[in-house]
Amino acid sequence: MINDKLPKIWYGGDYNPEQWDAPVWAEDERMFKLAGIDVATINVFSWALIQPSEDTYDFSSLDQLMDRIYKNGTYVCLATGTGAHPAWMAHRYPEVTRVDVKGRKRKFGGRHNSNPNSPVYRKFAAKLAGKLAERYKDHPALVAWHVSNEFSNYDYSDLSEAAFRVWLKDRYGSLDALNKAWNTRFWGHTFYDWEEIVLPSELSEEWDGNRTNFQGISLDFRRFMSHSLLECYKIESDAIKEHSPNVPVTTNLMGFYDELDYFEWAKHMDVISWDNYPSLDTPVSFTAMAHDLMRGLKNGQPFMLMEQTPSQQNWQPYNSLKRPGVMRLWSYQAVARGADTVLFFQLRRSIGACEKYHGAVIEHVGHEHTRVFRESAELGKELGQLGDQLLDARSAAKIGIIYDWENRWAINLSSGPSVALDYVNEIHKYYDALYQQNIEADMIGVEENLFKYEIVIAPVMYMVKPGFAEKVEAFVKAGGTFITTYFSGIVNENDLVTVGGYPGELRNVLGIWAEEIDALLPGMSNEIVMDKAWGNLSGSYKCDLLCDLIHAEGAEVLAEYGSDFYKGMPALTVNNFGEGKAYYVATSPEAEFLKGFLANLCADKNIQPLVAAPEGIESVQRVKEGVSYLFLLNHTTGDLSSDIGATERTDLLTGNKVSGSAVVPARGVLILSDKK
């Protein structure tokens, strides 16, 4: 569990009492008890209050809050306050504010506006974190540390440029190695002095966000900035651990956020936490995939749902309300997929500035007689009744889907073949095909042990890093099933093409050669035509986006293209390699094809759906000490039934015994334990 002071699913969220006068605090305390709130995340943006000047610290208000919160029966996830630097710091030390991609020097304002490579910023941030840890390390309310908030935003200042050169020297050792890695003889870019290297901004190599003349330079810059921001996290975490080594330290991640390599960050976090903000029309399978990614960052370790809204966001184009029951439903979706906390932003609504319309447990009306508060209190009561039963329960998935941030960066930066290629969307197609059939999958990184799984899926594995191809070959040779797709095996870790024919280092295990890649215009499509019926697949299926023109080199052709000048060329192949099989999907197929294709592979490996259920039911399993906890979540507005088999299970939420056909109420949840 996260901290044995509180052996249950934590319930609460961000609390900003500094925005209110003391009489409101007493009312908050009363309502927290009504709602079952047991954890408050405080001090997220309080740097300016705690440190009103360079040499002055004032902890009196925070001392009072820590004591009051604990006296009320609530624990504290204590933030370091460094999510926004004080105005005095930016005024006295202008270097602490960022320079943006257009070369504009930012002034004080907003948040996430700090230069991660400013020694001044780092010094003050580490000092504050250390002082907080020294002061509160033994406070009975403390259960976790929260460093800064939603780390983000690249910097293009002279300080970062100088730090980039140092980082490059460490990475490459010599200019000869760097010039080779970046292919700088293209367009006469050869560097003869480290000082000649500049950041890839709109003043040099980049435009329109991810457009760049030199992919290698821009790719390394993203690695460097992820590293720079991680260093800011680490200096605060290290300062905390000097005084408080046994209290877990985290920071709130943001799912599939593009700019930071969270697999690298996870190595330095005691527990993963993240902020989940789907919109009304976000596919529930996409949210499920994001939860699974957060779980996968630390090899399946349960995570913290650090933020979600009880009702609505304020920053999306259309900030729809969560319909009755949805907040509870989505909270249990997080728990089902590995969350050991259910926390909100925010506990009381702000009255001013840009988040005053962001949902909260306590609305502007200020009392408990609201729909949102009633739903929050009901959920708090349920989570209290669950106790510690689900804590530390793990996934038992036999399928791993590979996601890699550096691969995503390289695809986004690629000059071709199609602006419509969206790496995350293509991964979601495969994930969703399993989700719709109630088949579990883990989201994993390229460093994960593949032998934990029967099937490994790596859509659009454009970049093949050192050792990955050998790992795949060993996995398949030992009996594993590996699937990859079009636009895979093209480049190495420096975004240099692997010569000798696509898919490069994966060519041997796949038994194919991809000669050309055709990009289809919007509205264009081709067909995947099955040579003969194969399990759940027969006839023809639509495909679009990209079509690899491939030749079988030992692989068996299972399907062909149905039109255009490459009609009859392979669209789906399988290569028997050792004891296992490697599949190549040469295009982007429609959903029905993927469902049938993956169902065939699961049947071959005897991987069964968790339940037989209609569309709209999400099924997830967590396992702990030999006990299976089967979650059934109904994402529709009508009651639905699922066949859970003959084994009798107990619903943890009602105590009812269930077997055979289980009825899940509209927007309802069952948590079914097989414990005897």
Does 140 lie in the same domain as 53?
yes
Does 408 lie in the same domain as 281?
no
Q: Into how many domains does the chain fold?
A: 4
Q: Is 307 a catalytic residue?
A: yes
Let me know: does 545 contact 418? Beta carbons within 8 Å: yes
The verdict on pTM exceeding 0.95 is yes
Does 162 lie in the same domain as 150?
no
Output the six-digit token pair for 24: 């409101």
Does 171 lie in the same domain as 120?
no
In a domain, 610, yes or no: no
CATH assignment at residue 114? 3.20.20.80
Q: Using the 3D structure, point to which of 604, 626, 653 is the last residue of a domain.
A: 604
Secondary structure string (H, E, C) spanning 123-188: HHHHHHHHHHHHHHCCCCCEEEEECCCCCCCCCCCHHHHHHHHHHHHHHHCCHHHHHHHHCCCHHH
In a domain, 361, yes or no: yes
Name the amino acid, one letter, at 458. A
Positions in the chain short of pLDDT 50 = none
Domain that holds residue 102: 10-155+229-386
CA atoms within 13 A on the CB side of 485: 22
Q: Is 516 a catalytic residue?
A: no
Does 435 lie in the same domain as 537?
yes
CATH assignment at residue 648? 2.60.40.1180
In a domain, 556, yes or no: yes
Q: Which of 205, 206, 307, 368 is catalytic?
A: 307
Q: Which of 150, 236, 448, 505 is catalytic?
A: 150
In a domain, 488, yes or no: yes
Does 668 lie in the same domain as 652?
yes
Does 167 lie in the same domain as 151?
no
* pLDDT for position 266: 99
Let me know: does 407 contact 462? Beta carbons within 8 Å: yes
CA distance 533 to 591: 18
CA distance 622 to 629: 5
CA distance 98 to 107: 8
* pLDDT for position 565: 99
Q: Using the 3D structure, point to which of 337, 359, 386 is the last residue of a domain.
A: 386
CB atoms within 10 A of CB 210: 16
Does 63 lie in the same domain as 201?
no
Closest to 557 in 3D by CA, of 598, 515, 512, 523: 512
Alpha helices by DSSP H, 414-560: 423-435, 468-477, 507-510
Largest CA distance in the chain: 77
CA distance 571 to 486: 9
Q: Using the 3D structure, point to which of 386, 420, 446 is the last residue of a domain.
A: 386
